[in-house]
Protein backbone atom coordinates (compact mmCIF):
# COMPACT_ATOMS: atom_id res chain seq x y z
CA UNK A 1 0.00 0.00 0.00
CA UNK A 2 2.81 2.42 0.87
CA UNK A 3 4.49 1.79 -2.48
CA UNK A 4 1.19 2.40 -4.27
CA UNK A 5 0.67 5.70 -2.46
CA UNK A 6 4.25 6.74 -3.20
CA UNK A 7 3.83 5.95 -6.90
CA UNK A 8 0.57 7.94 -7.02
CA UNK A 9 2.25 10.94 -5.38
CA UNK A 10 5.12 10.80 -7.88
CA UNK A 11 2.67 10.57 -10.76
CA UNK A 12 0.73 13.62 -9.58
CA UNK A 13 3.95 15.60 -9.07
CA UNK A 14 5.00 14.88 -12.65
CA UNK A 15 1.53 15.72 -13.97
CA UNK A 16 1.67 19.05 -12.13
CA UNK A 17 5.18 19.64 -13.45
CA UNK A 18 4.16 19.02 -17.07
CA UNK A 19 1.08 21.24 -16.80
CA UNK A 20 2.98 23.98 -14.97
CA UNK A 21 5.85 24.03 -17.46
CA UNK A 22 3.36 24.04 -20.33
CA UNK A 23 1.54 27.08 -18.94
CA UNK A 24 4.87 28.76 -18.13
CA UNK A 25 6.01 28.34 -21.74
CA UNK A 26 2.68 29.70 -22.94
CA UNK A 27 3.20 32.81 -20.81
CA UNK A 28 6.34 33.71 -22.78
CA UNK A 29 4.13 35.50 -25.29
CA UNK A 30 3.45 38.18 -22.68
CA UNK A 31 7.17 38.98 -22.62
CA UNK A 32 7.26 39.65 -26.36
CA UNK A 33 6.42 43.21 -27.53
CA UNK A 34 2.80 43.25 -28.62
CA UNK A 35 2.15 39.92 -26.87
CA UNK A 36 1.22 37.95 -30.02
CA UNK A 37 -1.60 35.55 -29.24
CA UNK A 38 -2.27 37.19 -25.88
CA UNK A 39 -5.84 37.28 -24.61
CA UNK A 40 -7.41 40.70 -25.41
CA UNK A 41 -9.14 40.76 -22.02
CA UNK A 42 -5.79 40.31 -20.28
CA UNK A 43 -3.97 42.81 -22.47
CA UNK A 44 -6.76 45.30 -21.78
CA UNK A 45 -6.01 45.29 -18.04
CA UNK A 46 -5.55 48.83 -16.76
CA UNK A 47 -2.20 47.92 -15.16
CA UNK A 48 -0.83 46.09 -18.22
CA UNK A 49 0.23 49.34 -19.83
CA UNK A 50 2.56 49.99 -16.87
CA UNK A 51 4.42 46.73 -17.32
CA UNK A 52 2.69 44.84 -14.51
CA UNK A 53 1.60 42.02 -16.84
CA UNK A 54 5.09 41.52 -18.27
CA UNK A 55 6.70 41.51 -14.82
CA UNK A 56 4.06 39.17 -13.40
CA UNK A 57 4.41 36.73 -16.29
CA UNK A 58 8.22 36.77 -16.15
CA UNK A 59 8.53 35.80 -12.50
CA UNK A 60 5.39 33.66 -12.22
CA UNK A 61 6.52 31.41 -15.07
CA UNK A 62 9.79 30.75 -13.21
CA UNK A 63 7.93 29.94 -9.98
CA UNK A 64 5.61 27.57 -11.82
CA UNK A 65 8.51 25.77 -13.50
CA UNK A 66 10.42 25.36 -10.22
CA UNK A 67 7.56 24.64 -7.83
CA UNK A 68 6.70 21.00 -8.61
CA UNK A 69 10.33 19.86 -8.38
CA UNK A 70 10.56 21.14 -4.81
CA UNK A 71 8.21 18.32 -3.80
CA UNK A 72 10.45 15.54 -5.14
CA UNK A 73 11.82 13.89 -2.00
CA UNK A 74 14.81 12.33 -3.75
CA UNK A 75 15.97 15.77 -4.91
CA UNK A 76 15.56 17.24 -1.43
CA UNK A 77 17.59 14.50 0.24
CA UNK A 78 20.26 13.97 -2.44
CA UNK A 79 20.79 17.63 -3.36
CA UNK A 80 19.76 19.74 -0.33
CA UNK A 81 21.84 22.75 -1.44
CA UNK A 82 20.13 22.74 -4.85
CA UNK A 83 16.75 22.42 -3.14
CA UNK A 84 17.51 25.50 -1.02
CA UNK A 85 18.70 27.56 -3.98
CA UNK A 86 15.67 26.63 -6.04
CA UNK A 87 13.49 27.40 -3.04
CA UNK A 88 15.01 30.86 -2.68
CA UNK A 89 14.34 31.60 -6.35
CA UNK A 90 10.79 30.23 -6.03
CA UNK A 91 10.06 32.38 -2.97
CA UNK A 92 11.42 35.54 -4.60
CA UNK A 93 9.43 34.93 -7.78
CA UNK A 94 6.22 34.21 -5.83
CA UNK A 95 6.50 37.36 -3.73
CA UNK A 96 7.24 39.56 -6.74
CA UNK A 97 4.68 37.79 -8.92
CA UNK A 98 2.06 38.04 -6.20
CA UNK A 99 2.64 41.77 -5.82
CA UNK A 100 2.23 42.38 -9.54
CA UNK A 101 -0.70 39.96 -9.59
CA UNK A 102 -2.42 42.08 -6.96
CA UNK A 103 -1.98 45.18 -9.10
CA UNK A 104 -3.42 43.31 -12.10
CA UNK A 105 -6.39 42.24 -9.97
CA UNK A 106 -7.08 45.89 -9.21
CA UNK A 107 -6.99 46.73 -12.93
CA UNK A 108 -9.13 43.75 -14.03
CA UNK A 109 -11.47 44.40 -16.94
CA UNK A 110 -14.01 41.92 -15.48
CA UNK A 111 -15.14 44.17 -12.64
CA UNK A 112 -15.07 44.12 -8.82
CA UNK A 113 -15.93 40.42 -8.38
CA UNK A 114 -12.93 39.38 -10.46
CA UNK A 115 -10.83 41.96 -8.62
CA UNK A 116 -11.84 40.38 -5.32
CA UNK A 117 -11.18 36.83 -6.57
CA UNK A 118 -7.79 37.49 -8.06
CA UNK A 119 -6.89 39.93 -5.29
CA UNK A 120 -7.48 37.28 -2.63
CA UNK A 121 -5.49 34.82 -4.74
CA UNK A 122 -2.53 37.23 -4.82
CA UNK A 123 -2.72 37.91 -1.08
CA UNK A 124 -2.94 34.20 -0.30
CA UNK A 125 -0.02 33.44 -2.61
CA UNK A 126 2.18 36.10 -1.00
CA UNK A 127 1.16 35.21 2.56
CA UNK A 128 1.58 31.45 2.25
CA UNK A 129 4.93 31.79 0.49
CA UNK A 130 6.24 34.18 3.12
CA UNK A 131 5.15 31.79 5.88
CA UNK A 132 6.85 28.87 4.09
CA UNK A 133 10.09 30.87 3.80
CA UNK A 134 10.00 32.02 7.43
CA UNK A 135 9.58 28.48 8.76
CA UNK A 136 12.35 27.23 6.46
CA UNK A 137 14.72 29.84 7.88
CA UNK A 138 13.78 28.70 11.38
CA UNK A 139 14.42 25.06 10.35
CA UNK A 140 10.81 24.20 11.20
CA UNK A 141 10.73 21.84 8.24
CA UNK A 142 7.38 20.11 8.85
CA UNK A 143 5.56 23.45 9.10
CA UNK A 144 7.55 24.79 6.16
CA UNK A 145 6.36 21.89 4.00
CA UNK A 146 2.71 22.55 4.91
CA UNK A 147 2.95 26.18 3.90
CA UNK A 148 4.81 25.30 0.73
CA UNK A 149 1.95 22.99 -0.26
CA UNK A 150 -0.43 25.92 0.24
CA UNK A 151 1.87 28.26 -1.68
CA UNK A 152 2.02 26.02 -4.72
CA UNK A 153 -1.73 25.44 -4.54
CA UNK A 154 -2.12 29.19 -5.08
CA UNK A 155 0.60 29.17 -7.76
CA UNK A 156 -1.11 26.28 -9.58
CA UNK A 157 -4.16 28.52 -10.03
CA UNK A 158 -2.49 29.68 -13.25
CA UNK A 159 -2.98 26.14 -14.57
CA UNK A 160 -6.50 25.54 -13.27
CA UNK A 161 -7.61 28.93 -14.58
CA UNK A 162 -6.62 27.92 -18.10
CA UNK A 163 -8.24 24.51 -17.74
CA UNK A 164 -11.52 26.19 -16.76
CA UNK A 165 -11.26 28.53 -19.75
CA UNK A 166 -11.30 25.58 -22.16
CA UNK A 167 -15.04 24.83 -21.80
CA UNK A 168 -15.79 28.57 -21.85
CA UNK A 169 -14.37 28.76 -25.36
CA UNK A 170 -15.58 25.33 -26.43
CA UNK A 171 -19.21 26.02 -25.53
CA UNK A 172 -19.18 29.70 -26.50
CA UNK A 173 -20.03 30.92 -23.00
CA UNK A 174 -20.13 34.63 -22.23
CA UNK A 175 -16.55 35.37 -21.18
CA UNK A 176 -16.93 37.96 -18.41
CA UNK A 177 -19.59 36.20 -16.29
CA UNK A 178 -17.58 32.97 -16.57
CA UNK A 179 -14.33 34.78 -15.77
CA UNK A 180 -15.82 36.19 -12.56
CA UNK A 181 -16.64 32.67 -11.41
CA UNK A 182 -13.21 31.42 -12.46
CA UNK A 183 -11.51 34.20 -10.46
CA UNK A 184 -12.49 32.20 -7.36
CA UNK A 185 -12.82 28.70 -8.84
CA UNK A 186 -9.21 28.68 -10.06
CA UNK A 187 -7.81 28.70 -6.51
CA UNK A 188 -10.44 27.86 -3.87
CA UNK A 189 -10.63 24.13 -4.78
CA UNK A 190 -6.81 24.04 -4.94
CA UNK A 191 -6.58 25.26 -1.36
CA UNK A 192 -9.22 22.82 -0.18
CA UNK A 193 -7.25 19.97 -1.76
CA UNK A 194 -4.04 21.31 -0.20
CA UNK A 195 -5.67 21.34 3.25
CA UNK A 196 -6.89 17.78 2.70
CA UNK A 197 -3.35 16.68 1.78
CA UNK A 198 -1.92 18.41 4.86
CA UNK A 199 -4.54 16.82 7.14
CA UNK A 200 -3.90 13.39 5.59
CA UNK A 201 -0.18 13.70 6.17
CA UNK A 202 -0.77 14.68 9.78
CA UNK A 203 -2.97 11.63 10.33
CA UNK A 204 -0.34 9.40 8.71
CA UNK A 205 2.38 10.88 10.90
CA UNK A 206 0.35 10.28 14.06
CA UNK A 207 -0.39 6.69 12.99
Question: At 43, is the pLDDT very low, low, confident or very high (cuts 50, 70, 90)?
Answer: confident
> Does 183 score more than 50 pLDDT?
yes
Quick one: average pLDDT of 103-126? Answer: 96
Quick one: average pLDDT of 99-121? Answer: 96
Of 44, 65, 160, the residue nearest 110 (C-alpha): 44
> Does 4 score more than 80 pLDDT?
no
Question: At 1, is the pLDDT very low, low, confident or very high (cuts 50, 70, 90)?
Answer: very low
Query: From CA 24, how far away is CA 21, in angstroms rounded?
Result: 5
- Give the mean pLDDT of the chain: 92
Burial 159-196 (b: 16+ CB within 10 A, else e): bbbbebbeebeeeeeebeebbbebbbbbbbebbeebee
The domain ranges of the chain are 2-206
pTM above 0.85, yes or no: yes
**DSSP-derived secondary structure for the chain:** -HHHHHHHHHHHHHHHHHHHHHHHHHGGGGGSTT-TT--HHHHT-TTGGGTHHHHHHHHHHHHHHHGGGGG-HHHHHH-HHHHHHHHHHHHHHHHHHHHHHHHHHHT-TT-HHHHHHHHHHHHHHHHHHHHHHHHHHTT-HHHHHHHHHHHHHHHTHHHHHHHHHHHHHHTT--HHHHHHHHHHHTTHHHHHHHHHHHHHHHHHHH-
Among 57-71, 139-153, 191-205, whose mean pLDDT is lowest?
191-205
Express each pLDDT in 52-86 by its tens digit: 999 999 999 999 999 999 998 888 899 999 999 99
Amino acid sequence: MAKTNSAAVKAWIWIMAILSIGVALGAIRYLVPGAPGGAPEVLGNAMARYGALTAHAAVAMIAMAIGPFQFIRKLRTARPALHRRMGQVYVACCLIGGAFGLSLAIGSTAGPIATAGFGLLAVGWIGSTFKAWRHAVRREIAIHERWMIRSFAFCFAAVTLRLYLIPVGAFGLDFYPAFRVISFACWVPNILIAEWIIASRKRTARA
